[in-house]
């Protein structure tokens, strides 16, 4: 069966202390979660950790741009590592005190619990759209992305993408979306007056099919 979207939750903070938390509720089986952490800070914006129910998520990228001021990190975790079902606290901690910080969480069902994700793709662009293409995608995958944009207008997702969260912090905007694997993995966003963009995405892989009975031959 294909990986399916479950739920999304997001939070942002302006002039905070470098730590944001939210409560996310996941339901279903073979759960997987994606965390998109974005921030702006004059002193550097690397993410230190994102924990889901007090267990650290696995970092897939930690991308910086424009003098290490803009940060975009992508993280993942599966049910095999932590009890994800129900309402759980998710906390993102940065290496520096930011002027803006946001966190988006997307959970999915039907995720492979041993090899949950493929190879991530990420890009930082100054003065141009930060479009990415996630590779090695199967038709039953679910591609998930997170983008931080400095723009004057709202971001619009590309074809076959469904926006799952958005946080607006003055001119900084962070968005997350999903796309079925059958759509090919090209993840794009457009916005009026965009000057910087940090973008990353990854494909979540489907759980292994359960072994079944073979054909019954010669029965009367």
Q: What is the mean pLDDT of residues 149-176?
A: 88
Q: What is the mean pLDDT of residues 211-219?
A: 43
pLDDT at 218 over 50: no
- Half-sphere exposure in the Cβ direction for 207 (13 Å, CA): 19
Cα–Cα distance between 137 and 120 in angstroms, integer?
A: 11
- Report the 10 Å Cβ neighbour count for 110: 20
pTM of the full predicted structure?
Answer: 0.91
Selection from 90, 195, 89, 206 nearest residue 143 by Cα: 206
Core vs surface per residue 141-150: b (16+ CB within 10 A) or e: bbbbbbbbbb
Cα–Cα distance between 194 and 101 in angstroms, integer?
A: 18
SS3 69: coil
User: What confidence tier does 146 reach under pLDDT thresholds 50, 70, 90?
Assistant: very high
For 156, the token pair is 């619009």
pLDDT at 75 over 60: yes
pLDDT at 215: 45
pLDDT at 68 over 60: no
User: What confidence tier does 165 reach under pLDDT thresholds 50, 70, 90?
Assistant: very high
pLDDT digits (tens, 9 = 90+) for 23-49: 999 999 999 999 999 888 766 667 888
Strand partners, 209: none
Which of 160-164, 172-176, 182-186 has the lowest average pLDDT?
Answer: 172-176
User: What confidence tier does 96 reach under pLDDT thresholds 50, 70, 90?
Assistant: confident
């Amino acid at each position: 069966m294909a990986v399916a979207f479950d739920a999304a939750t997001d939070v942002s903070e302006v002039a905070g202390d470098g730590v944001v938390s939210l409560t996310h509720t996941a339901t279903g089986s073979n759960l997987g979660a994606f965390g998109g952490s974005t921030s702006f800070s004059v002193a550097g914006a690397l993410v230190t950790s994102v924990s889901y129910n007090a267990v650290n998520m696995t970092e897939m990228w930690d991308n910086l741009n424009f003098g290490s001021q803009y940060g975009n990190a992508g993280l993942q975790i599966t049910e095999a590592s932590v009890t994800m079902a129900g309402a759980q606290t998710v906390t993102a901690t940065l290496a520096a005190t930011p002027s803006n910080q946001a966190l988006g969480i997307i959970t999915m069902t039907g995720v492979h619990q041993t090899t949950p994700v493929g190879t991530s793709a990420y890009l930082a662009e100054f003065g141009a759209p930060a479009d990415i293409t996630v590779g090695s995608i199967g038709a039953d995958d679910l591609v998930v992305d997170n983008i931080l944009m400095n723009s004057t207008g709202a971001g619009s997702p590309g074809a076959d993408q469904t926006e799952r969260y958005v946080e607006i912090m003055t001119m900084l905007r962070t968005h997350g979306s999903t796309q079925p694997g059958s759509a090919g993995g090209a993840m794009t966003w457009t916005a009026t007056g965009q000057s910087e963009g940090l973008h990353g995405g990854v494909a979540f892989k489907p759980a292994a099919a359960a072994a079944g009975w073979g054909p019954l031959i010669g029965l009367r």
